Structure 1
Amino acid sequence: MYKVIIVDDEAVVRIGLKNTIQWHEHGFELIGDYANGREAWDAIELDRPELVISDISMPFMDGLELAGLISAQYPYIKMIILTGFDEFEYAQQAIRLKISDFILKPITAQEIRQLLDRIKGEMDEEKQRREDLSRLNSQLEQSLPLLKERFLERLVAVGLGEAAIAERLTYFSLPPMPPPYLVMVVDIDDFGSRVFSSYEHDAEFLRFAAYDIFQETAAREQVLAFRTREERMVAIVYGENDESLLYERVFSLAEEIRYHIEKYLKFTVTVGIGRVCTNAEQLPASYKSALSVLDYRFLLGKNRVLSITDIEGKSSNVLPLSNDWDRKLAAAVKTGAIQEAYLLIESGVAELKRSMVPAEACLLQMQKVVLSLMNSIQELAIHEIDPAFGEQIKLMDILKFKTLDEVELWLKEVVRSVISTVTDNRNYLTNKQIHQAVKYIDTNYANEKMSLQDLCRHVLMSTSYFSLVFKQHTGETFIEYLTGTRVGKAKELLHNSTLKLYEIAEQVGYKDPNYFSIIFKKHTGMTPKDYRDKQIKGSGV
């Protein structure tokens, strides 16, 4: 509801307007009626109505004087003038005073109602515009910190001209930056051993806490601090005439930030310090060099302050590892030599660290190693790959690590898993081959000419390796197992058949009945004839 008052020295007009108009139906609340402009002005200052309907000709203060005061002090209050004088001079003054409408008396109730509806529509539109503007201003104020961060990020990532930099520094109420400049980038290594119930929420809280320490520490220096969209913390440091003093101040600031985050938040960050630049347009070069030095965390480890001045001139574009390093590692894996494989990994990683090869080259070398290991698995025709193992050995897994030490631990675990898988596969194949050998013996024991060589050709194994694993699996040599099988079959025939002894000997693989009797007695402690007689006697036949 909009508040409205009536001002007219004629009581009949005031009473008529009050009683004939249903004000609430038109969106207004009539809060008073007054006989002259002076009384109305006092009420206006007290109640601040949104609409004043006033006559022109009144004692003490006429309608135009009242309109002048309202226009000067409360320009948002709308005013409708009612007059019985059709004078052009009045109309001119009404326009100059921004009066909403100038109505000649007499006026009907219907005309008043239509007028009120129109005025309310105008007031609703103005209210909506004001609210929209207020909301936009509020949104702008809320967005200013983010807009400032995006400006600073663009300043270091892309670059801006001198005039644009000066203009935006003023817009965001940032201090002017005297040269030289240096960009420092702080990147969270990880969140330590924390186990998060809701990782994204907890991680965001810790990132905010780290940035709070970063800002608080940087606030004591001549620094512009902000966060990038990659959640890195960046500081543009300035305010030293001497470059060496600027480096010294940045190193001190970086070490303080690193120390406080580790001490109070219990996780670590790595800080990259770029090159000094002499004008603000060159800030992207300093930022790029700070990012590039962060890559050396991969070789040098986490929780460090690294400067481009310490790295320049030490890196090499030549890959230090020999071409057959991954081949040797694959060979050690195939043979199950896990300690030899571990030593190869350790020596390779140490060589990569000494060479200061860029992280991309190191990752490429490690991916070649993984490919070599995967080829080894295929060459060994492993019967079944555990899905979890398949996930573990994926090439892209390497990219998630931030240091070469982490890659070393991961690669050792991959090698351990591969060797375990190869060993399991070899055991599986060996068990399968031994099972085939036993089945072959059980089927062909009657063949007098069966030999170890025949059996090994059947199961595709060397005689020496077969003899070793056969005894491991059965507890007997090939001859012992074959003889035991033949004697067992002979027992069955002696007990269940009326075959003559020489016939039984022949059926279990012995052409010579005497040799059969010797072998049988050696295994059972009695001759075949005694064994049969004992079985017959025992059965009561």
Structure 2
Amino acid sequence: MLTMIIADDEYNVREGLKEVVRWEELGIQVIGDAADGQEAVERCRELKPDILLTDIRMPLMDGLEAAIKLRELGNPVRLIIISGAEDFNYAKTALSLNADGYILKPIKIAELQQTLRKVVASILAERGREAQTEQLQQQLHQNMPVLREKFLTQLTLGMMKDEESVRQKMTYFALPFTTEGPWTAAVLQIDDYEKAVERYSGTNKQLLSFSVNNLLEEIVSRSGSCVTFFMNENEHVILFSSAARDDRSPMNVCREMIQCVHSFLQLPSSCGIGNPVRNATDIYNSYQEALAAIKYRFYTGKNSVLSIGDFQSDDRSVEFPQLFDAEQDLLRLIKLGDSEQAAAKIRFIFNTLCDNRRLPVGYVQSVCAELVNVAGKAVLELDENIRHIVPDYSSVFHDIYGKREAAELQEVMLAFFGKLTAHFALKHSQKNARTIHKIKTIIEQTYMNHISLTKLAEEVYLSPNYISLIFKQETGESITEYITKVRMEAAMELLKSPDLKILEVSEMVGFENATYFSTVFKKYAGMHPQKHRSLYLNE
């Protein structure tokens, strides 16, 4: 029976509610009442009811103030608010207090009873969940069938060589399959396990593994001819015997397991399945193949069922001659600071490797590690310190071998080479800025003479095409346009002097032909040089 206190400043309301509501049918006992908010707080502290049914408007302390006070005191009492229509603006505050109901006056008994039923159901459900959690915790700390699990572990790890002894122990432990093979081992792991347990610690982390194992136990209990046990952290082993029905094959059972883990725990998982073996003492071989199979999740992604038979390659060596060229291209693009093309080259390398899904994951990881290593050497040859560019350079190798999916590994490579490319792009930008500054200085100092692109290029020890390209990229204008601008600005200053002829001005700013000078000036300033001069003379 749940308990409740009624708080209302009207005596008739309090007593009327006690009389008209069928409290016992609702599973509620009214254990007290209060005439104001302050008294309601005191009664709740004293009697510790499950529910507080309170009016908003009351003397000394209103219902919302009382609710806030109770929340501050850490009182878990569930709230149902009663108010008049004029108090409806209090609804937002009531919601912020997680009130379970908001009843408008005049009170409709049917509406009140419906709200009370929902609150009672919610409280009972919460208590049920708490009881279930407590029960799981108790089960976790209870003695588990240690001998049975020890036997299965030793069998799977190849520590038992006597076939007859194995059969006897299978019978002794009443394992749910026959003692005859063939046998198949499978392994289930939670994908992104480290992320999944970030919100768990201590016993809660153990509870996660315990919950997964409980789910798997439920499935194998329905399947028959198979058994599951917890081998290591994030490694659940499933052993199948030949007696399994076709619809309960290792592939189908593993699919069901993955679906259940996703549905009930909201966690992605994957299964690796080994080849069947004839003798129980050879289960170790199937188990090792299952561990190898699950690594191919690297290609397929999360929630995968992977049979080693689908990935075992032939004995022919795998060669990718185009990778060497791609590696050299990548190093060249890094030195040029071309981020976009460098990223495209990394994606090309990954596509080349991952198109063949039979490649061992370790091979792909080793190619990536070699790329990082070669890049480090190339940077050193340029008299650069790789650790100044990528401070966490050493951890890159750990990340490479720690990633379980190709997409994640590709992101590691893109991030690493992105930092290198950005560094050299900045260096090129700084170098280009110095070059452009020098070109501008030369132009500003020699604009009165003939200036050629070839001569400028010789002054900065670069090609004419290259200086034209970087000047346009950095300034937005061509070198010729900049020369014209400098000359025209100088001409405008000279035209302020009435003693200088137009011909003299044109020669002083590097023009041999006065007519051509006038044409260029008019295009730049929008008027003839003589008219421009008249503007100053008339001031």
Unaligned runs of 5+ in 1: 1-140
Tell me the residue number matched to 1:284.
Answer: 284
Quick check: 2:167–2:179 contact (8 Å CA) kept in 1? no
* CA separation of 1:249 and 1:352: change in aligned 2, threshold 3 A: closer
Quick check: 2:518–2:528 contact (8 Å CA) kept in 1? no
For 1:319, what is the secondary structure of its paired residue?
Answer: coil
* CA separation of 1:199 and 1:402: change in aligned 2, threshold 3 A: farther
Post-superposition shift, 1:217? 1.5
Cα deviations across residues 292-318 of structure 1 (Å, max 9, x unaligned)? 222233334442333334444557542
Q: Which moved more, 1:294-303 or 1:336-345?
A: 336-345
CA distance in 2, matches of 1:149, 1:195: 24
* Matching of residues 92-491 of structure 1 within 5 Å: 145=145, 149=149, 152-162=152-162, 175=175, 178-180=179-181, 181-190=183-192, 205-220=207-222, 221-238=224-241, 240=243, 249-312=249-312, 314=314, 317-320=317-320, 322=322, 323-330=324-331, 336-337=340-341, 341=345, 344-345=348-349, 347-353=351-357, 356-371=358-373, 394-408=396-410, 411=413, 426-445=428-447, 448-489=449-490, 491=492
Q: What letter matches 1:363 in structure 2?
A: Q
For 1:282, what is the secondary structure of its paired residue?
Answer: helix
Cα deviations across residues 216-235 of structure 1 (Å, max 9, x unaligned)? 21234244432123420012
* CA separation of 1:248 and 1:537: change in aligned 2, threshold 3 A: closer
Q: Which moved more, 1:470-479 or 1:412-421?
A: 412-421
* CA separation of 1:413 and 1:200: change in aligned 2, threshold 3 A: farther
Q: What letter matches 2:482 in structure 1?
A: Y
Query: Between Structure 1 and Structure 2, how many residues are aligned?
Result: 390
Quick check: 1:345–1:408 contact (8 Å CA) kept in 2? no
* CA separation of 1:159 and 1:389: change in aligned 2, threshold 3 A: same
Quick check: 2:468–2:479 contact (8 Å CA) kept in 1? yes
For 1:267, what is the secondary structure of its paired residue?
Answer: coil
For 1:228, what is the secondary structure of its paired residue?
Answer: strand
For 1:276, what is the secondary structure of its paired residue?
Answer: coil
* CA separation of 1:370 and 1:209: change in aligned 2, threshold 3 A: same
Cα deviations across residues 264-318 of structure 1 (Å, max 9, x unaligned)? 3333322222243444433322322221222233334442333334444557542
Q: What letter matches 2:483 in structure 1?
A: L
Post-superposition shift, 1:393? 9.4
Post-superposition shift, 1:499? 9.2
Quick check: 2:272–2:291 contact (8 Å CA) kept in 1? yes
Q: What letter matches 2:152 in structure 1?
A: L
Quick check: 1:319–1:361 contact (8 Å CA) kept in 2? no
Quick check: 2:166–2:281 contact (8 Å CA) kept in 1? no
Quick check: 2:400–2:409 contact (8 Å CA) kept in 1? yes
Quick check: 2:271–2:306 contact (8 Å CA) kept in 1? yes
Quick check: 1:329–1:341 contact (8 Å CA) kept in 2? yes
Quick check: 2:273–2:306 contact (8 Å CA) kept in 1? yes
CA distance in 2, matches of 1:289, 1:368: 27
Q: Which moved more, 1:311-320 or 1:190-199?
A: 190-199
Tell me the residue number matched to 2:88.
Answer: none
CA distance in 1, matches of 2:269, 2:303: 5
Indicate the percent of aligned positions where both proteins have the same amino acid: 21
Cα deviations across residues 147-194 of structure 1 (Å, max 9, x unaligned)? 754553343225135499669959995659723233221122236997
CA distance in 1, matches of 2:531, 2:312: 95
For 2:232, what is the secondary structure of its paired residue?
Answer: coil
Quick check: 2:290–2:307 contact (8 Å CA) kept in 1? yes
For 1:437, what is the secondary structure of its paired residue?
Answer: helix
* CA separation of 1:390 and 1:505: change in aligned 2, threshold 3 A: farther
CA distance in 2, matches of 1:201, 1:459: 69
Q: What letter matches 1:237 in structure 2?
A: F
Q: Which moved more, 1:449-458 or 1:505-514?
A: 505-514
* CA separation of 1:408 and 1:537: change in aligned 2, threshold 3 A: closer
Quick check: 1:295–1:359 contact (8 Å CA) kept in 2? yes
What is the alpha-carbon root mean square deviation over aligned residues?
Answer: 5.2
Cα deviations across residues 395-438 of structure 1 (Å, max 9, x unaligned)? 33222322334434655666677666665655454344323322
Cα deviations across residues 98-118 of structure 1 (Å, max 9, x unaligned)? xxxxxxxxxxxxxxxxxxxxx
Quick check: 2:158–2:282 contact (8 Å CA) kept in 1? no
* CA separation of 1:379 and 1:431: change in aligned 2, threshold 3 A: farther
* CA separation of 1:186 and 1:383: change in aligned 2, threshold 3 A: closer
* CA separation of 1:154 and 1:433: change in aligned 2, threshold 3 A: farther
Q: What letter matches 2:282 in structure 1?
A: Q
Q: What letter matches 1:455 in structure 2?
A: L
Cα deviations across residues 329-380 of structure 1 (Å, max 9, x unaligned)? 5556755447963772464044332xx1211112222333444566777789
CA distance in 2, matches of 1:167, 1:476: 86
Tell me the residue number matched to 2:75.
Answer: none
Post-superposition shift, 1:143? 6.0
For 2:189, what is the secondary structure of its paired residue?
Answer: strand
Unaligned runs of 5+ in 2: 1-140
* Matching of residues 508-519 of structure 1 within 5 Å: 510=510
Quick check: 1:224–1:237 contact (8 Å CA) kept in 2? yes
For 1:394, what is the secondary structure of its paired residue?
Answer: helix
Quick check: 1:502–1:513 contact (8 Å CA) kept in 2? no
Question: What is the TM-score of this pair, normalised by structure 1?
Answer: 0.55
Quick check: 1:382–1:425 contact (8 Å CA) kept in 2? no
Tell me the residue number matched to 1:99.
Answer: none
Quick check: 1:521–1:528 contact (8 Å CA) kept in 2? no
CA distance in 1, matches of 2:189, 2:315: 22
For 2:217, what is the secondary structure of its paired residue?
Answer: helix
Q: Max radius of gyration: which structure?
A: 1
* CA separation of 1:207 and 1:487: change in aligned 2, threshold 3 A: same
CA distance in 1, matches of 2:142, 2:368: 47
Quick check: 1:185–1:290 contact (8 Å CA) kept in 2? yes
Cα deviations across residues 491-523 of structure 1 (Å, max 9, x unaligned)? 55676x999779996995649796898589656
For 1:184, what is the secondary structure of its paired residue?
Answer: strand
Cα deviations across residues 215-266 of structure 1 (Å, max 9, x unaligned)? 22123424443212342001233474xxx97996433432321232233333
CA distance in 2, matches of 1:467, 1:281: 76
Quick check: 1:383–1:425 contact (8 Å CA) kept in 2? no
CA distance in 2, matches of 1:245, 1:455: 84
CA distance in 1, matches of 2:162, 2:492: 106
Question: What is the TM-score of this pair, normalised by structure 2?
Answer: 0.56
* CA separation of 1:436 and 1:155: change in aligned 2, threshold 3 A: farther
Q: What letter matches 1:399 in structure 2?
A: Y
CA distance in 2, matches of 1:503, 1:392: 69
CA distance in 2, matches of 1:386, 1:501: 60
